[in-house]
Amino acid sequence: MLAHAAKNLEKAGAEAVVLCTNTMHVLADYIQREISIPFLHIADATGQAVADKRLKKVLLLGTKYTMEKAFYKGRLTENFGLEVITPSETQRDEIHRVIYEELVRGIIKSSSRSYFMDVISEFTELGVEGVIAGCTEIELLVGPEDLGVAYFPTTSLHSAAAAEFALS
């Protein structure tokens, strides 16, 4: 379905495809194979932003799929040389639960915010230099003003990369 939509965009004259979600980038390689125009990958925009700050060790937060699968984490490592750290399995489960049971429904709980901050603090103490908000909804709980390390809001980074592409 997404590849079909991308083909239709190309036929209509689009110069690139932007998929405005982190998790659905699991289909990025398939979509790119189906079109001849560039597919602007959200992990590339994120990886470039991290590289521009000359950081190497980052914490990736997002859905379980984004945190666990190579389509995102592997791309950051392979294309940008980043050491991408993810929370423990128990922490990933809770982060995933908060995203799908609360944040996507517009439910913002201070207890969930505290949980995210505790996870971030734990990994900051272990030497993480930045935090990747690898899910749009995470920005509802945590922002750059909350952290003592660099913050990478993927939605904003991806949007900026798309605008830069369009203007070039």
Q: What is the mean pLDDT of residues 155-168?
A: 94
Domain boundaries, the chain: 2-167
Which residue type does 167 have?
L
Each residue's pLDDT tens digit, 65-110? 999 988 889 999 999 999 999 999 999 999 999 999 999 999 999 9
Active-site pick, 135, 136, 154, 155: 135
Annotation says 90 is catalytic: no
Q: Which CATH architecture is the domain 2-167 placed in?
A: 3-Layer(aba) Sandwich (3.40)
Q: Is 137 helix (H, G, I), strand (E, B) or coil?
A: helix
Annotation says 135 is catalytic: yes
Model-wide pTM > 0.85: yes
Query: Which whole-number Å values give the CA distances from 48 to 5, 138, 139, in the listed order?
Result: 27, 20, 20
